[in-house]
Structure 1
Amino acid sequence: MPMYNGVAEAPRGNSPDGPDQSKGPPPRDSRDLPSLMLSSCYPITLKFMDVGYKVKFENRNKGSNIKRVLGCAPKISDQTQERTILNGITGMASPGEILAILGPSGSGKSTFLNALAGRIQSSSFTGTILANSRKPTKQIMKRTVLVLSEGRGLYFGKGSEAMSYFQSTGYSPSFPMNPADFLLDLANGVCQTDGASEREKPNVKQSLIASYNTLLAPKAKAAFMETRESGAGSYNSEEHRSSSDRISMAAWFSQFSILLQRSLKERKHESFNTLRVFQVIMAAVFAGLMWWRSDYRDVQDRLGLLFFMSIFWGVFPSSNSVFVFPQERAIFLKERASGMYSLSSYFTSRIVGDLPMELILPTIFLSVTYWMAGLKPEPGAFLSSLLVLLGYVLVSQGLGLALGAAMMDAKKASTIVTITMLAFVLTGGFYVHKLPPCIAWIKYISTTFYSYRLLINVQYGEGEKLSSLLGCSLPHGSDSASCKFVEQDVAGQISPAISVSVLIFMFVGYRLLAYLALRRIKA
């Protein structure tokens, strides 16, 4: 299990604590150099002294049930034991060195690396870990990374550039592998030389040293000298802040880009799996057949279709998105604990990556159902209905994300989102108009209510044309049941501008709640 603390030789003449960072602007990012060489500009000397760690466990042999009843079995507190995982480990890793921690499975290698990375905060941990003779700070931790061997962990390095370096030296793996593992193999003299005899095999170690001195060392030294020269002049606080801001923003966008690519690759298979696409298409076809070429004056039938769309595209996206964060909890905590990215870059990449995936299926659904059901045959009406439906889908997705992030338990979150959507549907305005005062307030936080009112407004406006067709403007016409139905379900209640404003507020608010819920999780 290799642990790297820089790959280039540390510049001579510095104190053991590394270069003086008390004055001068921070080093500028050398984008033309591989990330493997950047550690030469930030030398870190890592020391660990008397590192120890113990875990507590309970002895399973707690005596028989009869002994416990008679009081002969020892107390549970007496059965708690400690097992030593790490004991008095002391050492140092200097810049430019490669330190390999070797041992059989279960010997504590991963635990030791977690301790060095600051991921063990238990009272059972003892010892001292120093970076440049001080306790590791946030700035130091941002310059280090713990690459996990399991899961789908991210590594914000340039592995392809590392492989290109190996190829330039005449060595390259015969199959894709971790550059760190390949370098460790080469350092131990393990390499593939097809058709070469023992005498013809090169000295791998000497070849690597010569290649480094020829290829990487000049660039590393040039980058370091440029850093020293940039810090030799007078210090300007405004330049310092602007340079730091540029570096921070560049790092943020780099994290965002990589996380977005991963999110798109994952969500592509989740959003467009065969069963989900089949479900949406069949729902669209069945709805189109049920309301096939419905008449404009069949108000109740058409309102039933509009409310069905509100139910389906409220429950469907919220039920799917509620699992997003609970399913990623384990890998999210590991990556965040290693300092691989900021929470804002992770959350933004997830939100942006979900947008195109969530909008394609409802577009297909409405394109099929709208024209089969014979709804208002105007392109403007169709586009307006599509915008309302897509906005409603994004709001419902945000609701699922917020509940999932707050619960971080898939079963609990799924139950809560089902109950919430049930309340929203029942108070959405189709089943009951006069709600009991104790629950009437739910209507005004119901996403279904606002989307349903907007879909009605697209088809019937304020209901003047429909009232004229039904003769509601004639004497005694307003007393008919159909006219009362139009007055209650089609006309009035709430203006479209208010409905749009509330849905926009919900779109932002639910995602903000999800972000705040993720922030409270300790990495």
Structure 2
Amino acid sequence: MEISDEQRMEMSIVERHHLPPSSHGNGDAETDVEEEHLWPTKDGPLPIFLKFENVEYRVKMTLKNPLTAARVAFASHMRVDQGSSSKHILKGIAGSVDPGEILALMGPSGSGKTTLLKILGGRLSGGIKGQITYNDTPYNPHLKKRIGFVTQDDVLFPQLTVEETLVFAAFLRLPARMSKQQKRDRVDAIITELNLERCRHTKIGGAFVRGVSGGERKRTSIGYEILVDPSLLLLDEPTSGLDSTSASKLILILQRLAKTRRTIITTIHQPSSRMFHMFDKLLLISDGHAIYHGKARDCMHHFSSLGFVPEIPMNPAEFLLDLATGNLDDISVPEALRGSPDPQEFRSHVIRHLQLKYRSAASAGGAEAAARRAPMEQLRLAVRARKDRRGIGWFQQFAVLSRRTFRERASDYLDKMRLAQAVGVALLLGLLWWKSKTGNEAQLRDQVGLIFYICIFWTSSSLFGSVYVFPFEKLYLVKERKADMYRLSAYYASSTLCDAVPHVVYPVLFMAILYFMADLRRTVPCFFLTLLATLLIVFTSQGTGELLGAAILSVKRAGVMASLVLMLFLLTGGYYVQHIPKFIRWLKYVSFMHYGFNLLLKAQYHGHLTYDCGSRGGCQRLQSSPSFDTVDLDGGMREVWILLAMALAYRLLAYFCLLKRISFMPL
């Protein structure tokens, strides 16, 4: 059998770098499947040599206030044109990192470290110039599954334990051909590797839930990313908020991960001396420019050769940050830079001097870089050496997300206060309307008031219970969507279904208590039709809340908007004002509370029933009561279909709003 040139080159790559063979036949496919089931793999992840040249990034800013525009222009030396401007964040950054190395990005706050990290991880688009290659291959969507990104803030569900967090992530992210047990085995291996055995069954915790320590939370975030055995691992300030011992242990873990041929890049602010010497390479950034790129252990010698020498014993990281900011207290400087009386001008002059020295050194080292590039080109096919791993299907995603969502929100679903609210309000209303009658107009009016209050209570409870779901979970959703963990439709369907469970249980319990205490019509059809009307109100209110939350994605603004919508629907529901002026009458036709209230009235009363039999005129039909002027009690149940259509329409709109907002939201 003839072997093509591409297959021959790929075999050469496998032999030279000990890469796992790609699946071109049945036998190779079995080998690939077998390798997927082992972790850590025998040879580790596919190596990635990352190189970036002349990376520039501008962000557009719209400044409507002229004073604000002037301040920004003065601070960043930008030209402001008619209220719009752009800020030049990265200004020609270049560097490289090999498999098995840790590259530290250092610089003062606002220098562009995190921006560069997001660009290298494919997290930013637009306004980017320059060349970024992964084994001499430009970024493409297939690389996303080979890149792990650990954000500075640990975006983890607080109610899940460490093990549950990793298990659910494994079920969603690992290939479909792996069994559940094999995925659990990989989770166990990662927990052992990251020293998380002690807190395996502890909740992650958060602002309102006590959980694991900061170091354990950060290691869990790293484990979340290395589940898929990434070739490139990016970390944004992984040691922030940690004490020096925990931070050093974390860097030791990164060193162990790098030894499995991973390429690791991390931003770091001001590490200790011990931590600093754990890094293989260093890229020092100042005001969007690189002023040093090379081995971390050689940086002090490099700046000493330029005439910058600390006059007192200093932490190397502190020394480098002082240089990057132009703060040269206790640092000797070259003769050519001395003599400037203005401190601000002196700092700017020092930074420009370092930038020019770096550019000249980088251009002189171009030949060496070209010589190193040749062997790295042999890894070019490594990105394509293995077929793209197929993830689990939609229904499997839906099942996993449903279990995770229910586990995460179980404390809200089974909240004692929520149960006490439903039971307590039902008992209170039952006592206030104890054995209510419809013998005369006043009694009938009181009972109609009870029915409208039922409508108000479940509308407000369901609306505010669902309006905050997406604003609270937007960070988790953005993070997991950026990693292509699942389809948004699977997440939305699982979230809606799980939230529907308490929205069924509590209304049923509420009506079972109140209905008989208030002595509403004791017939089976009336009871179940009243319960159906209440559930339709609940589901439509839930859909409205989801729509508001998805469209706004802000906790504060969503709450304000929900209050306004509730007030609007309350006033147009048909109880306080029955005869609305014509020019504003259209509001009641978009109010689901109007249809829900009418449906509850039709479930409880019929036009042929009579009341006020003790009056002079004898018994009167209910339809003649002023309480039903705008309601045809015998007019059919078209409100059922209207409420169902509204519930479906609001959810579809909520899904499309969520899809649009999440797609353009950065993390």
TM-score computed with the length of structure 1 as normaliser: 0.69
Q: Distance in 2 between matches of 1:36 and 1:448?
A: 56
Assess if the C-alpha contact under 8 Å between 2:50 and 2:97 holds in 1: yes
Following superposition, the deviation at residue 119 of structure 1 comes to 1.2
Rounded Cα–Cα distance in structure 2 between residues aligned with 1:367 and 1:320 = 22
Deviations 1:65-95 (A, max 9, x none): xxx9xxxxx97523315897797443255xx
Q: Relative to structure 1, is the Cα distance of residues 43 and 253 closer, same or farther in structure 2, using a 3 angstrom cutoff? A: farther
Q: Shift of residue 127 of structure 1?
A: 3.2
Retained in 1: the 8 A contact 2:100–2:258? no
Selected match of 1:463 from 607, 612, 616:
607
Note if contact 1:152-1:331 (Cα within 8 Å) is conserved in structure 2.
Answer: yes
The answer to whether structure 1 residue 175 and structure 2 residue 201 are counterparts is: no
Question: 1:120, CA displacement in angstroms?
Answer: 2.4
Following the alignment from structure 2 to structure 1, what is the Cα–Cα distance between the partners of residues 258 and 145?
A: 30
After TM superposition, list the pairs within 5 Å mapping 1:81-160 onto structure 2.
Answer: 88-91=93-96, 97-102=99-104, 110-121=114-125, 123=127, 125-131=128-134, 133-142=136-145, 144-148=147-151, 150-153=153-156, 156-157=169-170, 160=184
Q: Distance in 2 between matches of 1:347 and 1:305?
A: 35
Partner of 1:353: 498
| 2:435 alignment partner, one of 285, 290, 293 | 293
What's the CA shift string for 1:74-132, capped at 9, x where partnerless?
97523315897797443255xxx554344679697654442222112353x44322345
CA contact (8 A) 1:313 1:393 kept: yes
In structure 2, relative to structure 1, the CA distance for the partners of 1:453 and 1:75 (3 Å cut) is: closer
1:405 Cα deviation after fit: 1.3
Distance 1:328 1:166 in 2: 26
Q: Which of 502, 511, 514 matches 1:366? A: 511
Instruction: Classify 1:455/1:187 alpha carbon distance in 2 versus 1 (closer, same or farther; 3 Å).
Output: closer
How do 1:430-441 residues align onto structure 2 when only pairs under 5 Å count?
430-441=575-586
**2:516 is equivalent to residue 512 of structure 1:** no
Instruction: Tell me what 1:5 maps to.
Output: none
Contact 1:46 1:129 in 2 (8 A): no
- Structure 1 residue 324, shift from structure 2 partner: 1.7
* 1:416 counterpart = 2:561: yes
Residue 271 and residue 398 in structure 1: after superposition, are their counterparts in 2 closer, same or farther (change >3 A)? Answer: same
**How far did 1:411 drift?**
2.7
Partner in structure 2 of residue 483 of structure 1? 624
C-alpha contact 2:612 2:620 (8 A) present in aligned 1 = no
For residues 404-436 of structure 1, what are the alpha-carbon distances to aligned partners after superposition, in whole Å with 9 as ceiling and x for unaligned? 211222333222222222222222222232221
Is 1:446 aligned to residue 591 of structure 2? yes
2:52–2:93 CA contact under 8 A, matched in 1: yes
Residue 286 (structure 1) shift: 1.4
2:74 aligned residue = 78
Q: Which amino acid aligns with 2:601?
A: I
Q: Structure 1 vs Structure 2: percent identity of aligned residues?
A: 26
Alignment partners' CA distance in 2, 1:135 and 1:452: 60
Distance 1:47 1:293 in 2: 77
Shift of 1:511: 0.7
For the Cα contact (< 8 Å) 1:322–1:401, is it kept in 2?
A: yes
Q: Distance in 2 between matches of 1:80 and 1:167?
A: 46
Q: How many residues align?
A: 438
Give the aligned residue type for 2:124.
I
Q: Provide the rounded CA distance (Å) in 1 between the counterparts of 2:145 and 2:491.
A: 16
Q: Distance in 2 between matches of 1:167 and 1:433?
A: 64
2:420 equivalent to 1:278: yes
Matched with 1:341 is 486
CA distance in 2, matches of 1:40, 1:253: 33
Task: Confirm or deny: 8 A CA contact 2:547 2:651 kept in the other structure.
Answer: yes
Contact 1:477/1:483 (8 A) holds in 2? no
Q: Is the 8 Å Cα contact of residues 151 and 331 (structure 1) preserved in structure 2?
A: no
Report matched runs for 1:1-400 at 5 Å: 12-13=11-12, 30=33, 33-34=36-37, 45-50=48-53, 52=55, 77-80=73-76, 88-91=93-96, 97-102=99-104, 110-121=114-125, 123=127, 125-131=128-134, 133-142=136-145, 144-148=147-151, 150-153=153-156, 156-157=169-170, 160-162=184-186, 164-165=188-189, 174-176=197-199, 178=220, 179=223, 184=254, 186=256, 247=390, 250-297=392-439, 298-400=443-545
Cα shift at 1:479: 8.1
Change (3 A) 1:338 1:413: same
Q: 1:19 to 1:119 in 2, by over 3 A?
A: same
- The answer on whether the counterparts of 1:11 and 1:40 sit within 8 Å (CA) in structure 2 is no
Cα deviation, residue 276, structure 1: 3.4
Matching residue's letter, 1:90: G
Contact conserved, 1:424 with 1:443, CA < 8 A, in 2?
yes
Paired amino acid for 2:122: G
TM-score normalized by the length of structure 2: 0.55
SS of residue in 2 equivalent to 1:146: strand
Q: Is contact 1:49-1:91 (8 Å) kept? A: yes
Residue 258 to residue 146, structure 1, CA distance change in 2 (3 Å) = farther
Render the CA deviation track for 1:277-310: whole Å, top value 9, x for unaligned: 3333322121111111112544222211111101
Shift of 1:504: 0.8
Q: Distance in 2 between matches of 1:80 and 1:306?
A: 62
Residues 86, 354 of structure 1: CA spacing in aligned structure 2 closer, same or farther, 3 A cutoff? farther
Aligned-residue offset at 1:51? 6.0
Quick check: 1:322–1:414 contact (8 Å CA) kept in 2? Answer: yes
Distance, in Å, in 1 between the alignment partners of 2:592 and 2:415 is 27
2:430·2:517 contact (CA, 8 Å) conserved in 1?
Answer: yes
CA distance in 1, matches of 2:258, 2:90: 28
Q: 1:518 to 1:442 in 2, by over 3 A?
A: same
2:499, 2:38 → 1: CA distance?
A: 30
Residues 146-183 of structure 1 show CA distances to partners (whole Å, capped at 9, x for unaligned) of 244633347733674235447999x9765345445686
1:117–1:338 CA contact under 8 A, matched in 2: no
Which region of structure 1 is more displaced relative to structure 2, 98-107 or 371-380? 98-107
Secondary structure of the 1:128 match is strand
8 Å Cα contact 1:102-1:109 kept in structure 2: no
Given that 2:49 and 2:135 are in contact with CA atoms closer than 8 Å, whether structure 1 keeps it comes out as yes
| Structure 2 CA distance for aligned equivalents of residues 388 and 443 of structure 1 | 18
Q: Which amino acid aligns with 2:74?
A: D
Amino acid at match of 1:161: D
Identify the residue that residue 501 of structure 1 maps to in structure 2. Answer: 641
Distance 1:296 1:85, change over 3 A: same
Shift of 1:265: 2.6
Q: Secondary structure at the match of 1:90?
A: strand
Once the 2 structures are TM-superposed, how far is the Cα of residue 45 of structure 1 from its aligned partner?
4.0
Q: Label 1:163 to 1:492 Cα distance change in 2 as closer, same or farther (>3 A).
A: closer
Structure 2 unaligned residues grouped into runs of 5+? 1-8, 62-66, 78-86, 157-164, 175-182, 200-218, 227-249, 260-381
For the residues of structure 1 that align with 2:35 and 2:532, how far apart are their CA atoms?
45
